[in-house]
Amino acid sequence: MSDSLSEHAAGNLAYIRQTIGRTRTVSSLSGAGLIAMGLVGCVASALASGLWVTPSDPDSLIIWQLAAVAAVVVGGSSIAWRAHRTSEPFWTDAGRRFTTCLAPCLALGAALTVNMSGTESATLLPGIWLFSYGAGVLAAGTYASAPLQLLGLSLCLLGTMALTAPQTSAAALLCGFGLGHLFLGAVFLRRET
């Protein structure tokens, strides 16, 4: 009887731990990493603005594509570094759910970029990038803090602006991928201290 009660208690404890783990939010985002991602966005914006009349110009598309790859590398590296520094696990349940929400939206933006590059529709790409990333961040923000959700909403609004008024795309890209990440990084950095 005692063994049965111990097994039942252990089962309940495991269930409680699993439930608590599912309600956790992503806490491994690094303020410094977000700031670095924002700097990548600002540099890409500065480089692209010297080469293009519109964000759909092939040279500026290459710059923004390279910036996207750099931002993913910087973001992933900063999460790994923070996890190592704080002795937290790198791949948590909340992190998996965050990634599961974000990845399809990023894949959509990448697929549309491949299919629309070099066409007249390429002028819509900056808005698509901002909106698809924003939708992913907004969905993933369910597992993160309110400032991240605000960034997602802001990116969606900037994406809508760029889609409806393509002449605003350069400013929207700078604000979303550059300044938005700088601001969010400063908020997270302040919380870390």
Structure tokens given for 134: 């924003």
Q: How far is residue 76 from each of residues 81, 95, 187, measured CA to CA in Å?
A: 9, 11, 19
Give Cβ neighbours of residue 187 (< 8 Å, ≥ 6 apart): 31, 147
Domain spans in the chain, listed from the N-terminal domain onward: 26-192
Residue 53 pLDDT exceeds 60: no
Tokens 């909403």: give the residue: 153
pLDDT at site 30: 82
pLDDT at site 22: 47
pTM score over 0.75: yes
CA–CA distance, 66 with 119 (Å, rounded to integer): 20
Residue type at 96? R
pLDDT at site 128: 95
Structure tokens given for 129: 């990038």
